[in-house]
Amino acid sequence: MKIIELSQIQQSLNLADDLALLISSQKSAFSDYSEGGYNVPLPMQFMFPNYGSDCHIKGGYQQNSQHLVIKIANGGPFGSQGAIFVFATQTGELKAILRDMGWLTTLRTAIAGIIASEVIPWQISNIGIIGSGNVAKMLYEIAKLKYPNKNTLLYARDLAKAKMITPHTCQSVDELVMNCDLVFTATSSEEPIIQDNPFYTPKAFIALGSDDEHKRELSLKLFEKSDIVMVDSKQQASKYGDVAKALHTKIMSTDSLVELGHVLKTGISKQAKTIIADFSGIAAQDVAMTEFILSRCI
């Protein structure tokens, strides 16, 4: 059994050089998941309100794979913790532990947002990110690699934290939405941050990390206006995040949702003007990311 520490994981990757490979690997995970190529149960989660922390457990394996992957990601006031456990599907033996401290979850979450941005049917002009935590930081770094010639603006409730990521910030959510046609949300908000798209111009809203029942970043009014709603997993979207709220209020039905894995093959109509993507994170991503790291470290 091999233990792979965070430092070794990070040393095995160079985002500037490996981003295209990582994106390709994650795209395959989304596509294969939507085609039934992964065995993935619903996630488990534990909330610890007394400490302001939580624990999320996701697991799965790709059909005919030699590895079962179980990921535990913990978060709270003191930062991210966690590890990924790799078992042999034939013998049940524990083959490896990736002590990633939640870093790989942050990375694959940000990459999912970038993959969703690739299917937007118009030429992106300005990118906006709402948030100042680990996912927002990673997303900013990857967005600058993917779209080096695009303006990328940030907004956060704590503007000082946003300015630690980039000096290019907005004073309000409305200012960011007005100036950007691609908007990412990467917060822990339990109330809608984006209320509407009042500007009558094409805009895409990509909400990341919607993996608990209390998470809310997008208003129901925005869902009412949407032309397409993408999710990573219909099964999970019906339970977690903003989409679950929209389904509960009957604004939309599960049948109207489209999984990213399918959209990667079919694309999005150029007629779509308001696009929503709401991702809870699927274990297929974690499996693909784990296999990528194992190929570098073992």
Q: CATH 3.40.50.720 spans which residues of the chain?
A: 110-281
Task: Count Cβ atoms below 10 Å from residue 60 Cβ, excluding itself.
Answer: 22
Residues of the chain with pLDDT under 70: none
Cα 198 to Cα 91, 120, 177: the distances in Å are 57, 19, 9
Enter the pTM of the model: 0.97
Q: CATH 3.30.1780.10 spans which residues of the chain?
A: 2-105+284-297
Measured CA to CA, the distance from residue 23 to residue 28 in angstroms comes to 9
Number of C-alpha atoms within 13 angstroms, CB side, residue 35? 14
Q: Which CATH architecture has domain 110-281?
A: 3-Layer(aba) Sandwich (3.40)
DSSP H or E run through 229? strand 228-231
Measured CA to CA, the distance from residue 234 to residue 282 in angstroms comes to 11
What pLDDT score was predicted for residue 266? 97
Measured CA to CA, the distance from residue 288 to residue 281 in angstroms comes to 12
What pLDDT score was predicted for residue 84? 99
Q: Which fold has domain 2-105+284-297?
A: ornithine cyclodeaminase, domain 1 (3.30.1780)
What pLDDT score was predicted for residue 210? 83
